């Protein structure tokens, strides 16, 4: 899969006759950073952005939370979103800088109707990172790292059976996939309506999971418990 992306990217750069100026790396996993070395070898002045907390190959520019960066006239803001890995980052393109919409490049933090596995962080950490994504403008386009929409929406129906917005999106996604089309982008506003990992505050979800907030339990502690339960069920669902 990685080789396909790499040669696709290479062919695109050559067709356009442009040099690669920057890589905005979300995290260290091979399917998100495995091309850095070869690309850096070919494009020597290419900057590689990311978090110093992740072991990102060829990292040249370590970013702090909410740091701004620009590539040509495009302006981005990086957000520190640990949980999937200790140094996961997401990037938001300021639409105004490119005469287009705001765009979130979410790596393995957030997928259409899903979220990444919590390999290197607690549910509390992941919740705070997901809250960062959810706090973006509703019109922000979501460009995730993987095409998992059909599977994710099927699972979402198990934990929140009554959700018409999700049902409609699922039908649309099935149609798109049948025609071998991508289901991305969605928007942050849409995701908040059907993505169970962004709905840890929803009573319907609590009911379906059989969870209740403890009498003296802090709200965010409870939401982290809900997130943990949804994640656990999703992992089991995948193995079925
Ligand atoms: Zn990953």
Q: What is the pLDDT of residues 24-81, one digit of tens each?
A: 999 999 999 999 999 999 999 999 999 999 999 999 999 999 999 999 999 999 999 9
Q: Residue 5: pLDDT band by 50, 70, 90 thresholds?
A: low
Ligand 1 centroid to residue 146 C-alpha, Å = 10
In degrees, rounded to 5, the angle at the alpha carbon of residue 95 between the alpha carbons of residues 81 and 109 is: 20
**Distance in Å, CA 27 to ligand 1 centroid:** 7
At 70-119, the pLDDT tens digits run: 999 999 999 999 999 999 999 999 999 999 999 999 999 999 999 999 99
Share of the chain above pLDDT 90, in %: 90
Beta bridge partners of 144: 107
- Give the pLDDT confidence score for residue 138 in this predicted structure: 98
Decide if pLDDT at 9 tops 90: no
- Position 4 scores a pLDDT of 56
Distance 172 CA to ligand 1 centre (A): 26
- Angstrom distance (rounded) from CA 159 to CA 155: 7
Q: How far apart are CA 159 and CA 194, in angstroms?
A: 11
For 165-188, what is the mean pLDDT? Answer: 96
Distance from the alpha carbon of residue 162 to the mean position of ligand 1, in angstroms: 31
Q: Above 50 in pLDDT, residue 1?
A: no
**Arithmetic mean of pLDDT, 111-129:** 97
171, HSE (Cβ side, Cα atoms, 13 Å): 5
- Tell me the sheet residues that pair with 104: 92, 142
**Distance from residue 108's CA to the centre of ligand 1 (Å):** 5
* Mean pLDDT for all residues in the chain: 94
Interval between CA 58 and ligand 1 midpoint (Å):
17
Residue 115: both structure tokens together: 């979220």
On whether the CB atoms of residues 7 and 42 are closer than 8 A, the answer is no
> Can you tell me the distance from the alpha carbon of 145 to that of 5, in angstroms, rounded to the nearest whole number?
12
Quote the distance between the C-alpha of residue 222 and its chain's center.
23
How far is it, in rounded angstroms, from Cα 202 to Cα 196?
9
For domain 63-239, give the CATH superfamily. Ribonuclease Z/Hydroxyacylglutathione hydrolase-like (3.60.15.10)
pLDDT, tens only, 177-188:
999 999 999 999
DSSP-assigned letter for residue 190? H
Give residue 225's pLDDT.
98
Question: Which pLDDT does position 3 carry in this prediction?
Answer: 53
Q: What is the pLDDT of residue 193?
A: 97
Rounded Cα–Cα distance for residues 227 and 36 (Å):
33
Region 157-180 average pLDDT: 95
Nearest one of 223, 202, 116, 128 to 159, comparing CA atoms: 202
Give catalytic residues, as residue numbers.
27, 29, 31-32, 84, 108, 146
Q: Give the ranges where 77-183 is alpha helix by DSSP (H).
A: 123-134, 149-159, 164-178
What's the pLDDT score for residue 201? 97
**Across 166-178, average pLDDT:** 96
Pairing of strands 89-93, 74-80: antiparallel
Flag whether pLDDT at 11 surpasses 90: no
Query: Per-domain residue ranges for the chain?
Result: 63-239
């Amino acid at each position: 899969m990685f080789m396909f992306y790499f040669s696709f990217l290479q062919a695109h750069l050559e067709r356009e006759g442009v040099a690669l100026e920057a890589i905005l790396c979300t995290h260290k996993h091979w399917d998100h950073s495995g091309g850095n070395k070869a690309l850096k070898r070919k494009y020597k002045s290419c900057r590689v952005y990311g978090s110093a907390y992740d072991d990102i190959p060829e990292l040249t520019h370590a970013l702090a939370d909410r740091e701004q960066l620009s590539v040509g006239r495009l302006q981005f803001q990086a957000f520190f979103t640990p949980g999937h890995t200790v140094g996961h980052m997401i990037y938001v393109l300021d639409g105004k800088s490119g005469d287009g919409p705001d765009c979130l490049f979410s790596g393995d933090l957030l997928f259409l109707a899903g979220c990444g596995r919590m390999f290197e962080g607690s549910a509390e950490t992941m919740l705070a990172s997901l809250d960062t994504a959810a706090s973006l403008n509703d019109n922000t386009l979501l460009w995730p790292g993987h095409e998992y929409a059909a599977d994710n929406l099927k699972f979402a129906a198990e934990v929140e059976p009554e959700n018409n917005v999700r049902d409609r999106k699922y039908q649309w996604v099935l149609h798109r996939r049948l025609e071998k089309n991508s289901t991305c982008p969605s928007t942050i506003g849409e995701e908040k309506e059907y993505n169970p990992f962004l709905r840890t505050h929803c009573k319907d979800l609590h009911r379906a999971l059989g969870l209740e907030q403890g009498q003296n339990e802090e709200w965010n502690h409870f939401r982290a418990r809900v997130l943990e339960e949804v994640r656990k069920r999703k992992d089991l669902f995948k193995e079925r």
